[in-house]
């Protein structure tokens, strides 16, 4: 009598969201697909990442999957435990609050420079990003809210033209994004945060760097209130 065949558990639903038709090397395609899904919140913090399932999705060996995961560990998006394997990184509430302090410092520096060097084309990009964010908020689209908020803040900071600063800012943003904190914000707080966005647009277009930074500082104080109120179930013990 033959021994029973062992079977893996079915792949997590979010694995099917990994886009396999992107350009680039195998490593680049896997890396980009995993990063995109994690940042979009489709794979929640703490979700296990089965190497075999990802390899099967891309029809490759485990080697390029592990290489991609090592890169994501370096970016702070993936955790690895020798026995538990790979999982989407989780943050304590204190770690998340600290990252918002980092984001605030980097964004303030970028905004001050951006307001002085922005062009009318930059104004158009900021307004378009603000309108897309408004549509996501009014449509109660939580994931769209995160996506368009990122686009909006990057549109505001981009005109600083300081690429190293912008890369650091985007890296800090990436670390907070998998937590999807806006999914837990009250309607009242969401409206207050979005009023800040409108005021930031006005200050940016007026090239008023001082007001722009001041509004951003107030915006981050509100975000720290959001972090302080996040449920424990969203954080790592």
The CA distance from 163 to 40, in Å, is 24
Angle (nearest 5°) at CA 185 between 179 and 188:
160
CA-wise closest residue to 87 among 38, 32, 46, 34: 46
The CA distance from 174 to 36, in Å, is 10
Tens-digit pLDDT profile for residues 48-79? 999 999 999 999 999 999 999 999 999 999 99
The CA distance from 38 to 178, in Å, is 6
Which residue, chain included where needed, has tokens 């605030």? Answer: 104
Return the number of other C-beta atoms located less than 10 Å from residue 214's C-beta: 14
pLDDT for 170 beyond 80: yes
CB 44 within 8 A of CB 51: no
Q: What is the 3-state secondary structure (H, E, C) of the chain?
A: CCCCCCCCCCCCHHHHHCCCCCCCCHHHHHHHHHHHHHHCCCCCCCCEECHHHHHHHHCCCHHHHHHHHHHHHHHCCEEEECCCEEEECCCCHHHHHHHHHHHHHHHHHHHHHHHHHCCHHHHHHHHHHHHHHHHHHHCCCHHHHHHHHHHHHHHHHHHHCCHHHHHHHHHHHHHHHHHCHHHHCCHHHHHHHHHHHHHHHHHHHCCCHHHHHHHHHHHHHHHHHHHHCCCHHHCCC
Mean of the per-residue pLDDT values of the chain = 91
Band (pLDDT 50/70/90 cuts) for residue 177 is confident
According to the model, what pLDDT value does residue 208 have? 98
Tens-digit pLDDT profile for residues 179-237? 888 888 899 999 999 999 999 999 999 999 999 999 999 999 999 999 998 876 545 44
CB 212 within 8 A of CB 111: yes
CB 46 within 8 A of CB 83: no
- Using a pLDDT cut of 70, give the percent of the chain over it: 94
The CA distance from 26 to 23, in Å, is 9
Q: How many residues does the chain have?
A: 237
In the chain the domains, ranked by start, together with CATH numbers, are 17-88 (1.10.10.10), 93-234 (1.20.120.530)
Tens-digit pLDDT profile for residues 94-104? 999 999 999 99
The CA distance from 196 to 216, in Å, is 8
pTM here? Answer: 0.83
The CA distance from 131 to 139, in Å, is 12
The CA distance from 169 to 182, in Å, is 19
């Amino acid at each position: 009598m033959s021994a029973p065949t062992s079977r893996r558990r079915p792949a997590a639903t979010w694995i099917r969201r990994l886009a396999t038709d992107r350009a680039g090397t195998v490593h680049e395609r896997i890396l980009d697909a995993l990063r995109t899904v994690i940042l979009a919140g489709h794979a929640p913090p703490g979700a296990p990442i089965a190497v075999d399932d990802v390899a099967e999705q891309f029809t490759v060996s485990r080697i390029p999957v592990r290489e991609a995961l090592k890169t994501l560990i370096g970016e702070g998006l993936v955790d690895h435990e020798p026995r538990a394997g790979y999982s989407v990184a989780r943050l304590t509430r204190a770690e998340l609050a600290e990252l918002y302090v980092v984001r605030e410092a980097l964004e303030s520096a970028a905004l001050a420079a951006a307001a002085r060097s922005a062009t009318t084309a930059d104004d158009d990009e900021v307004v378009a990003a603000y309108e897309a964010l408004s549509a996501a908020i009014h449509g109660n689209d939580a994931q769209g809210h995160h996506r368009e908020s990122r686009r909006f803040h990057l549109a505001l900071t981009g005109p600083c033209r300081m690429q190293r600063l912008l890369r650091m800012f985007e890296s800090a943003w990436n670390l907070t994004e998998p937590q999807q904190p806006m999914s837990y914000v009250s309607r009242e707080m969401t409206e207050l945060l979005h009023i800040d966005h409108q005021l930031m647009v006005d200050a940016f277009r007026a090239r008023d760097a001082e007001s722009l930074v001041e509004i951003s500082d107030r915006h981050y104080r509100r975000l720290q209130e959001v972090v302080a109120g996040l449920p424990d179930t969203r954080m790592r013990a």
